[in-house]
Chains A and B, each alone.
Chain A
Amino acid sequence: MSDTVFRTEDVTKVYQTGDVKVFALAGVDLELYAGEMAVLLGPSGSGKSTLLNILGGLDHATSGRVWFRETDLTDMSDRDLTRYRRDYVGFVFQFYNLVPSLSARENVQLVTDVSPNPMPAEDALAQVGLADRMDHFPSEMSGGEQQRVAIARAIAKRPEILLCDEPTGALDSTTGVQVLEVLQDINERFGTTTVIITHNAEIQRMAHRVIQFQDGKISSVAINDTRLAPAEIVW
C-alpha cells in the first residue's frame, strides 16, 4: 500500500510530573495507509492514547516528526491544529463525551456547525442506526446508543481519518459488537482510515493491521490475512 496518510519519525513524548519524567512514547516510527483499519493494542500506559492524541492534533510530540499526508504536524500552531482537526479528523472516545444538555441531533450539529463539508446530522445518525432516537438526550440513551451518537458525530464531517480510543471500553459485548459493526461499515463504505485503540485482544481480528505497543514503543506489527466480521467476535 503506497497511499500513506500518517507517517511518524522517532516520535517521543515525555511527561514531567514533579521531579518524575515519564516517557509515554520512546521513539515511534509508523506509517498508516489510506482506507485501512488499524488496531493499536497494548497494556495501559504503553503509549497508544498518546500517539492517537498526537496524530489527532490534540497534543504535540516532545521530539520526532509527524506528517499527515504532506503536511508536517510537528510544529503546527495551536490555531492550525484546530483547523486540521476541524477539517480532517473524527474522534470517538471511550466515555462518548457527549454534551449532556444537547440532544443526539444537536450533539452532531455541534460538529456540522463548524465543518466545511458536513453531511446532515440526520444522515449521520441514520448511518449509525439512530434515525428514530435523534431527539433523545444522552441521559435517555443506553451506553451503546450514546457511543453510536459519538460515532455519528465523528463521521458527520466526512473525516479522512477516524480515531477511536477504546470505543467499546465502557460497553458490554453485545452493544460493543454493534458499535464495531458501525465502525467497519463506515470504514468500508467511505474508505475512512480508521484507527482503533483497544485493550481487547479479540477486536484485533477485524483489523487490516495490528500494531502492538509496549513501554512506549511498537513491539510488533502484524497483517491479518483473514479478517473476522464483528459479529463473529466474542468476548
Chain B
Amino acid sequence: MQALDRKLLRDFARLWRQALAIAMVLACGVAILLMALGTYKSLSDTRETYYERNRFADVFSAVKRAPNYLAAELAAIDGVWAVETRTSGSAILDVPGSNVSISGQILSLPVEGLPRLNVPIVTTGRTPDPASTDEVMVNANFAIANDLVIGDHFFANLNGQKRQLTITGTAQSPEFIYTIGPGALMPDNATFGILWMPKPAVDAAFDMTGAFNDVTLKLSSGALEANVIDAVDQLLDPYGSLGAYGRDLQVSDAFIDSEIKQQRNMASVLPPIFFGISAFLVSMVMGRIIALERSQIGLLKAVGYSNLEICLHYLMLAALIAVVGIGIGWGAGTWLARSMSTQYAQYFDFPFLIFSTSAWVYAVSAMAALLATMAGAIQAAIKAARLAPAIAMLPPAPPQFKRALIDRAMAAMRLSQPTIMILRALIRWPLRSGLTLLGIALAVSTIVSPSFFQPSLNKIIDSAFYESNRQDAMLVLSHDMTQIVLETAADLPAVLQTEGQQFHAVILRNGNHEKRTQIQASHPATDLSRVMDNDGHQVAVPPGGVVLTDRLAAHLNVGIGDTVDARFLGGRQETHPLIVTNTIAQYFGIGAYMDLDYVNGLLRQSPRISTINVSLDDTQVLDLHDRLKDVPNLAGIVMMSDTRQSFAETIAENIGIINTIYIIIAVLITVGVTYNGARIQLSERSRELASLRILGFTRGEVSYILIGETMLLAVLAQPLGWWIGTLIAAGMFNSFSSDLYNLPLVFEPAVYAKASFVVLLASFASVMIVRRSLDKQNLVSVMKVRE
C-alpha cells in the first residue's frame, strides 16, 4: 500500500464520527431508494407477470340478465381477443365456529373447467365437479382466516335458499389480489370470501340458466379500450347493463396501482433530499479538511505529487464516506424492502412475489450516493489540486471581516463580545450558515409533514362515521326490494331503528363531461345516514333535483341551477335531466344525493330500497348475527362500528410506524448537519477559543460561542422547517387526493411543537458532544500549533 493511501485510511479513521454522521444521512437516501424502487419494481413486475400468466381481463361489465348467445356477439367486437361470461352472486355465509356474519361473492366456473380469463390458481385440492351442486372452491386466504380445510362444510344462503357446501379446493385469482368486501374500507379475509362454483349450480341458484350477469373481456394488443367499452355497453344495455369499465375502475387493480404509484413517487421525491443534504455535508467537511491540510497539500506538491493525484486523494476520502453510507443503506434498505413485502403479503394476495431487489437497484442506489458525495467533494478537491504549492505552505490569510451596517447595529445593542463573534461568523459565511439552516429546517419538515396525517384522518373519520354515517350496521340487499322489508328488519334481534336507502349506478353527463358514480337516495327525515358538508351541517336534499359533491360538480363542470343528464344503469337504462340544487364539500367520494320518493317517481317504480341502515342494541348483536345467516336476499352486512374501529386502529398503527421512522430520519439529518457544523467550527476556532480561555473566559463562556452559533441557527430554522413541512404535506395531500377522497390539512400546534422539540434536542445533544472536546483541549498545545 502506498503511503498516500495509508494517509487516506488514517484520515478516515480519525474523522470516523463526522464520516458516520454523513454516512447515516446518505444511508437514509440509499435505503429509501432501494426500498421504494425495489418495491415498485417488485410490485409492478409481479402484477404484470401474474396478469399475463392468468390472463387478467381488460374490460369488465355487470348486467342484470343477458342471454348466453350474446357471448358470441361480444367476442365479435373489434379489438376483443377473448370473452368470458359468468354468473356472479352474493350470499351470507354461515361458517361453523364463526359467530359474525360473513359475506361471500360467488362466481361461476365454466363446465369445461377453469375459465379462459382471470384464471384462478388452484393452490390446494381441486376445482368443484361441474355436475355437483354443493361443491365449492374458496379463496385461500379466506380458508386460512376461518380455519377451513378441504372437506370442511359451511352454509351459504343462496338467493334465499340455505345450502350446505363442501370445500374441494382453495385458489387465488388475479381479480382478487386486493379483496375488499361490500362497504368495507379494508380487506378482511375473515368476513369476506370468494366462492367458485360450477356454472349450472350457480345458474340454478340465481335463476340464470341460459344467461349470464357478468362479463369480462380481454383485448387484443392495439385495441382501443374506450371503443370496446362503448360497443359492450351498446350490446348489453337492453339487458340492464351497469356499464362496462376498464381496469382503472376494477377495485383490486386500482388499489395495487395506487400503491405502485406511491412507491414510484417516494423513490423520486425523498432520496434526492437526502443526497442533497449529504452532498452539502460532504462539501462542508471536505472544505474544512482541505483548509486544515493546506500545508500538507503544499508538501505533497513540493515532493512531486501531481494535481490529479491530489484531487483523487481527496475524492477517495469522500468515496470512503459513500462506501460506508451505501453499505449501511443497503443493509437497511434490504431490511425495509423485506418488511414491506411482508406487509404486502398481509394486504395483497399474490401467488408469488417477484422480489427483484435486483442487482441494478443496488447499483442505481450506490451510483446515486456516490455521485452525491462526489458532487459535494469535487469543489474542495479541485481547490486542493489548484492550491499553488508556495502559497499552500504559508498560513492562510485571516478571513476578511469588514465593518458593515450590522456591526453598528450590534454595537448599538451593546451585545457581548462572544455574541458578536457568533453573529459575525454567521454573516461572514452566509452560504454555509444558510445551508446549515436549510438542513436543520429540512429535518423539522421531515417530522412535520407526515404528522399531518393523523389529525387529517381523524377529521375524516369523524366526518364520515360520527356525523354522516351514524348507523351501527348496513344490511346490503341482494337486489332492490320494496320498503316493506324495513318492517321485517325491525323485527330482527338487537335492531332498534331502521332506515332505507337506495343506491343507483348512474352515468352523469354534461356535454362532453361524463362521470360514472352512484346516486344515494334517502328520505328527507333520515337520521342514521345523513348528508353532511365538511363544516358539519346537515344538507337538505330537496325533491326535483340532485345534490352533488363539489368534486363531482367540478368534474362535470356544472354549478347550482345547471342541469345534468343522469343515465340510470341496470334497469331500463333511462336518461333523465336533473337540476343541480346544491353542491357540497365532502372529504369522501364523488357522491350524488337525491330524494328517495323523487327517484321512485322518476323511474316510475314502487317505493324500494337497496340498503337498510340499522341502529343496534349492543347486548344482542350476537343474536342478530345468528339470525342474519338465515335471512334471504341479503348480500352482505357492514358492521360500521367494527369498520370504524379497525380502520382507526390500522391507521393509528401505520401512522405510528411512519412517524417513528421519520423522527429517526430527522434526528439523523439533524445530527449530520449540527455535529459536523460544530466540529468544523471548533476546528476553525480552536485557537480563538483557547485564546479566550487564556484571557480568562470560563469554560461556560467559551462553550457559549460554540453552542450559540449552532443553536441560533437551529432556532432560526424552526419557522422555515414548519413552513416547508406544511408545504410538503399540502403537496402530498394534493397528490393523494383522488375521486375517492381528499385529505383536509388540519393544523395542530402540537405537530410543530413536537418537530421542533425533537430537532432542537438532537441539535443540542450533537453540540454538547463536540463541546466535550473543547473541555479536553490543552490550551498550551493549541496555541503552539502553527495554523
On whether the two chains bind one another, the answer is: yes
A-to-B contact residues, CB < 8 Å = 53, 56, 58-59, 78-79, 82-83, 85-87, 89, 91, 93, 95, 97, 99, 101-102, 106-107, 109-111, 113-115, 153, 157
Nearest Cβ distance between residue A200 and chain B, in whole angstroms? 19
CA distance A89 to B2 in the complex (A): 21
Interface residues of B in 297-348 (CB under 8 A from A): 298-307, 309
Q: A91-B299, A101-B11 are in contact. List 6 more A-B contacts (CB 8 A).
A: A58-B388, A58-B389, A59-B390, A85-B301, A109-B2, A113-B4
Contact check, A82 vs B307: say whether CB atoms are below 8 A apart.
yes
| Chain A residues whose CB sits within 8 angstroms of the CB of B307 once the complex forms | 78, 82
> What are 20 A-B contacts defined by CB distance under 8 Å?
A53-B389, A58-B302, A58-B388, A58-B390, A82-B305, A85-B301, A85-B303, A85-B304, A89-B304, A95-B786, A97-B295, A97-B393, A101-B6, A101-B10, A102-B3, A102-B7, A106-B3, A110-B300, A111-B303, A113-B2
Main secondary structure, interface of B, reads: helix
How distant is the Cα of A50 from the Cα of B300 in the complex, in angstroms?
19
Q: How far is the CA of A178 from the CA of B786 in the complex (A)?
A: 23
Chain B residues within CB distance 8 Å of chain A: 2-4, 6-7, 10-11, 14, 295-296, 298-307, 309, 388-390, 393, 786
Residue of B299, B305, B390 touching A53 (CB-CB under 8 A)? B390
Interchain nearest-CB distance for B656 vs A (Å): 46
Among A53, A58, A93, the most chain B Cβ lie within 10 Å of the Cβ of A58
| CB of B310 to closest CB in A, whole Å | 10
State in angstroms the CA–CA spacing of A89 and B309 once bound together.
19
Task: Report the separation of the CA atoms of residues A86 and B301 in the bound assembly, to the nearest whole angstrom.
Answer: 9
Contacting A82 at CB < 8 Å: which of B2, B11, B306? B306
Question: Which of A82, A99, A157 lies in contact with B299, CB distance below 8 A?
Answer: A99
CB atoms of B303 and A91 under 8 A apart: yes
Contact of B3 among A53, A59, A110, A157 (CB under 8 A): A110
| Chain B residues with CB below 8 A from A99, complex form | 7, 296, 299
**Cα A157 to Cα B786 with chains together (Å):** 28
- Docked-complex contact A91 and B302, CB < 8 angstroms: yes
Chain A's closest residue to B8 (CB) is A101
B787 vs chain A, min Cβ distance (A): 11
B33 to chain A, nearest CB (A): 34
In the complex the two chains form, what is the Cα distance from A195 to B389 in whole Å?
Answer: 19
CA gap between A193 and B10 in the complex, in Å: 35
The answer for the CA separation of A114 and B301 in the assembled complex, in Å, is 11
List the 7 closest A-B pairs by CB distance, nearest first: A86-B304, A101-B10, A109-B3, A59-B390, A53-B390, A58-B390, A110-B3
Q: B616 to nearest A CB, angstroms?
A: 76
Q: Are A102 and B6 in contact (CB under 8 A)?
A: yes
**A111-B388 Cα distance, complex, nearest whole Å:** 19
User: Complex: how many Å from CA A93 to CA B389?
Assistant: 13
- Complex interface: chain B residues within 8 A of A93 (CB): 299, 393
Is B6 touching A106 in the complex (CB atoms < 8 A)? yes
What's the least CB distance linking A141 to chain B, in Å? 15
Which of B4, B302, B309 has the most chain A CB atoms inside 10 A of its CB?
B302
Chain B residue nearest in CB terms to A115: B304
The verdict on A153 contacting B302 (CB below 8 Å), with A102-B6, A106-B3, A110-B4 known, is no
**Is the beta-carbon distance between A101 and B390 smaller than 8 angstroms?**
no
A114 touches B304 (CB 8 A): yes
Whole-angstrom distance between the Cβ of B572 and the nearest chain A Cβ: 88
Measured between beta carbons, the chain B residues less than 8 angstroms from A111 are 303-304
**A113 and B7 contacting across the interface, CB-CB below 8 Å:** no
Identify the closest chain A residue to B391 (Cβ): A59
Find the A residue at minimum CB distance from B298: A97
- B11 neighbours in A (Cβ, 8 Å): 101
A153 — which chain B residues lie within 8 A by C-beta?
303
Distance from B300 Cβ to chain A, minimum over Cβ atoms (Å): 7
A170 CA to B251 CA in the complex, in Å? 82
Task: Known A59-B388, A101-B11, A101-B14; judge A87-B304 contact (CB<8 A).
Answer: yes
CA distance A116 to B296 in the complex (A): 22
Is the CB–CB distance between B299 and A97 below 8 Å?
A: yes
Within 8 Å CB of A102, what residues of B? Answer: 3, 6-7, 10
A-side contacts of B304, CB under 8 Å: 82-83, 85-87, 89, 111, 114-115
CA distance A93 to B298 in the complex (A): 11
Q: Which residues of B contact A53 (CB under 8 A)?
A: 389-390
Check B303 against A114 for contact (C-beta < 8 Å): yes
Cα distance A99–B310 in the bound complex, in angstroms: 14
Question: Do the beta carbons of A82 and B298 come within 8 Å of each other?
Answer: no
| Residues of chain B with a CB closer than 8 A to A110's CB | 3-4, 7, 300, 303
Task: Report whether A85 and B10 are in contact in the complex, using a CB–CB cutoff of 8 Å.
Answer: no
Cβ-closest chain B residue relative to A17: B397
Contact A58 B3, beta carbon cutoff 8 Å: no
CA A191 – CA B296 in complex, angstroms?
28
Task: Collect the chain B residues with CB atoms within 8 Å of residue A83's CB.
Answer: 304
CB distance from B726 to the nearest CB of A (A): 47
A107 CA to B295 CA, complexed, in Å: 14
Min CB distance, A63 to chain B, in Å? Answer: 17
Give the residues in chain A near B306, CB-CB below 8 Å. 79, 82
Min Cβ gap A104→B in Å is: 11
Output the least CB separation between B632 and chain A (Å). 86
Write the nearest CB–CB distance from B674 to chain A, whole angstroms.
26
Residues of B within 8 Å of A59, CB to CB, are 388-390
A residues near B4, Cβ cutoff 8 Å: 110, 113
Give the shortest distance, in Å, between A106 (CB) and chain B (any CB): 5
Which of B299, B304, B388, B389 is packed against the most chain A CB atoms within 10 Å?
A: B304
Residues from chain A with Cβ under 8 Å of B300 in the complex: 110
Cα distance A58–B305 when bound, in Å?
12
Q: How far is the CA of A114 from the CA of B5 in the complex (A)?
A: 13
- Bound: A78/B386 CA distance, A: 10
Which A residues are CB-close (under 8 A) to B10?
101-102
Q: With A and B bound together, what is the CA distance between A97 and B2 in angstroms?
A: 19
Q: Give, as a whole number of angstroms, the nearest-CB distance from B335 to chain A.
A: 35
Q: Are A101 and B786 in contact (CB under 8 A)?
A: no
Q: Say yes or no: B301 contacts A58, CB within 8 Å.
A: yes
Please, which residues of chain B bring their CB within 8 A of the CB of A89?
302, 304
A85 and B3 contact, CB distance less than 8 A? no
B597 → chain A closest CB, angstroms: 89
Question: What separation, in Å, do the CA atoms of A83 and B306 have in the docked complex?
Answer: 8
Instruction: Tell me which residues across on chain A come within 8 A of B14, comparing CB atoms.
Output: 101
What are the residues of chain B within 8 A of A79 when measuring CB–CB?
Answer: 306
Do A82 and B3 contact each other (CB < 8 Å), given the known contacts A93-B393, A101-B14? no
- Specify the chain B residue showing the minimal Cβ separation from A93: B393
Residues of A close to B390: CB separation below 8 A: 53, 58-59
Question: Which A residue's beta carbon lies closest to that of B293?
Answer: A99
Distance between Cα atoms of A98 and B667 in the complex (Å) = 38
Q: Which of B7, B14, B390 gathers most chain A CB within 10 Å? A: B390
Rounded to whole angstroms, the CA-CA distance of A157 and B302 in the bound complex is 13
Decide: A86 near B303, CB < 8 A? Known: A95-B295, A97-B393. yes
CB neighbours (8 Å) of B295 from chain A are 95, 97
Docked CA distance A59–B391 (Å): 9
- B297 CB to closest chain A CB, in angstroms? 10
Of A79, A86, A87, A114, the most chain B CB neighbours within 10 A belong to A114
Q: What's the least CB distance linking A124 to chain B, in Å?
A: 13
Bound-complex Cα distance A113 to B146 (A): 74
Cα separation A100 to B4 with both chains bound (whole Å): 12
Within 8 Å by CB of B296, from A97, A106, A109, lies A97
The chain B residue sitting closest to A78, CB to CB, is B307
A101 and B305 in contact, given A53-B390, A95-B786, A110-B300 (Cβ under 8 angstroms):
no
